[in-house]
Structure 1
Amino acid sequence: MILQRLKSQSAISVEELHREFGVSEVTIRKDLNALDERNLLIRTRGGAIGLPNTEAESKEDTPIHNKRFFNTREKQAIGRVAATLIEENDTILLDSGTTTLEIARNLHKFQRLTIITNSINIAAELLGYKRFNIILLGGNLRGASQSTVGPIAEMNLKVFYCDKLFLGVDSFNIECGLSTPNIEEANINQMMLSMSKRVIAVFDSSKCNKRSFAFIAPVDKIDVVVSDSNLPANIRNQLRSMQIKVYAAEVHP
């Protein structure tokens, strides 16, 4: 019944399950822990969320506060490796997302960077360094991604030339390219690509061989892929044959 509930809503709490089923909160926590151990849901503080959609094609726009629970170690490893591709004095563009947030958390060795982002939570993370030039793009605020999109954000981007774009990817497919569930996100991602000298796509291996609703760009528009060590060997080989550099981050237990 818990799993059935998660098919119709994105998250559930111990308190609401306790009220509905008339059993103790201790019992509910034990049930949620057991389901988490069997990889049937993801345990969170005070409840649980459902697993991400694993279908080849997805139109679901998962809220960012849920995405942070998916493949956390992989994203942290990718963030560490991607940060090594940055050089002092770079102007970098950080797309919104939980993987690009991990890049923002690994910039301690730098003293002078200009960082442009459309992500509210990434901008807040960057404030902690107290030494970078941070530019937050204006625009329409999307609650699901905590990012700015739309014509104002796209117009803001047109005045900047960036050394490197770190592009978070919801769905990656060699034949179909890069895609995302939201059209506005796809539009601003396309503008980001056009204003960047080098494009670095960052995504964990669970995003491979999928296709979302809104097309961003073909694979040959990117220069580098940073993923985790579970990236399939055939995809690595295909990317390298296209002269795209591939980094596979080792995931620590």
Structure 2
Amino acid sequence: MSKHQRWSRLLELLAAKGRLEVDETAAELRVSPATVRRDLDELAEQQMLVRTRGGAVAHGVSYELPLRYKSSRRATEKQRIAAAAVELIGEGEVVGLNGGTTTTEVARALALRTAGGRHGGTEATAPMYTVVTNALNIAGELAVRPQIKIVATGGVARPQTYELVGPLAAGVLKEVVLDVAVLGVDGLDPELGLMTHQEEEASISRLFAERAQRVVVVADASKLGRRAFARICGLDRVDIIVTDSTAPADTVARLGDLGIRVLTV
């Protein structure tokens, strides 16, 4: 197992458990305790965890993994969710995408659709979609797609998620109108609504929802019933939630009772 693979696994375990013990973790990863201690020390130096006597704990109330480490978690489910979400987007529409692993998969699915659409080919044509995003990685992936017009907000980049936040990002969003906002979230609670780990990201995602005629939430089953630090908006702003087939039936039923369409894939 490479260092990158160990670090990814360590951060995933920490996100799930909230605390790691060196000996127990070493046995689970099948490496030496010395290797685990060294890895934890290096991750602590990058402020990705807090070292304790005999192990490590996660930062804060709800731990936020950097995007590069989250990309492999529930990847198959996220790809299915993304494919279903793209089917809800009409050609020619203006689409808002916030940052995150699931919305990144939506961007990729949208790119695949344009590659196979009526504008496939090399000649210059009008864009099939306009995508407004505050995510640097999404803008970078879609910028080379001639059938997609990219509008990237300004703002200050957050290294954890590659999202642009702050007044510059808000200023751009206040000047545009979206047909649909596709939002990724860190938590979705039937009472409190949509949530994320960081308050600046929450305020930008809230603007996406406010500027859109309809809002589609893309969230794998692990996000349903979960709470995070910063509230984005209530469920009254949401039209459709796209999740995977392992979503708890009682939560799906409760969301349906609130008048929200839940699409499981």
Greater CA deviation, 192-201 or 101-110?
101-110
Paired residue total: 209
Identity %: 34
Counterparts of 1:148 and 1:30 in 2: how far apart (Å)? Answer: 35
- Choose which of 74, 99, 103 in structure 2 pairs with 1:100: 103
| Alpha carbons of structure 1 residues 30 and 234: separation in structure 2 relative to 1, 3 Å | closer
1:136 Cα deviation (Å)? Answer: 0.8
TM-score between both structures, scaled by the size of structure 2 = 0.72
Aligned to 1:170: 186
C-alpha offsets along residues 133-191 of structure 1, whole Å, 9 cap, x if unaligned? 11111101110000100111001101100000000010111112111110100111111
1:126 positional shift? 1.1
The offset of 1:244, in angstroms, is 1.2
Residue 152 (structure 1) aligned to one of 165, 168, 173: 168
Give the aligned CA root-mean-square deviation in angstroms.
Answer: 2.8
Q: Aligned-pair distance for 1:11?
A: 8.2
Tell me how far apart the structure 2 counterparts of residues 66 and 158 of structure 1 sit (CA, whole Å).
32
Structure 2 unaligned segments of length 5 or more: list them.
1-5, 14-25, 32-47, 50-57, 120-127
Aligned pair 1:216/2:232, yes or no?
yes
3-state SS, counterpart of residue 211 of structure 1: coil
Shift of 1:120: 0.9
1:109 is matched with: 113
Deviation, structure 1 residue 58: 4.3
Cα distance 1:29–1:170, how it changes in 2: closer, same or farther (>3 A)? closer
1:72 to 48, 72, 75: 75
Q: Give CA-to-partner distance per residue, 1:42-96, whole Å, 9 cap, x none.
A: xxxxxxx99xxxx9x9432221011112111111111111111111100000110
User: Which residue is 1:86 aligned to?
Assistant: 89
Q: 1:107-146 residue pairs with structure 2 within 5 A?
A: 107=110, 108-110=112-114, 111=119, 112-146=128-162
Q: Is the 8 A contact 1:166 1:199 kept in 2?
A: yes
Unaligned runs of 5+ in 1: 13-26, 33-48
Contact 2:99 / 2:135 at 8 angstroms: preserved in 1? yes
Distance 2:108 2:144 in 1: 10
The equivalent position to 1:190 in structure 2, one of 202, 206, 212, is: 206
Please tell me the residue identity of whatever aligns with 1:196: A
**Could you tell which deviates more after superposition, 124-133 or 96-105?**
124-133
What amino acid sits opposite 1:72 in the alignment?
A
Q: Supply the distance in 1 between the matched residues of 2:140 and 2:252 (Cα, whole angstroms).
A: 34
Contact 2:225 2:251 in 1 (8 A): no
- Alpha-carbon separation, structure 2, partners of 1:58 and 1:150: 23
Counterpart residue identity of residue 247, structure 2:
L
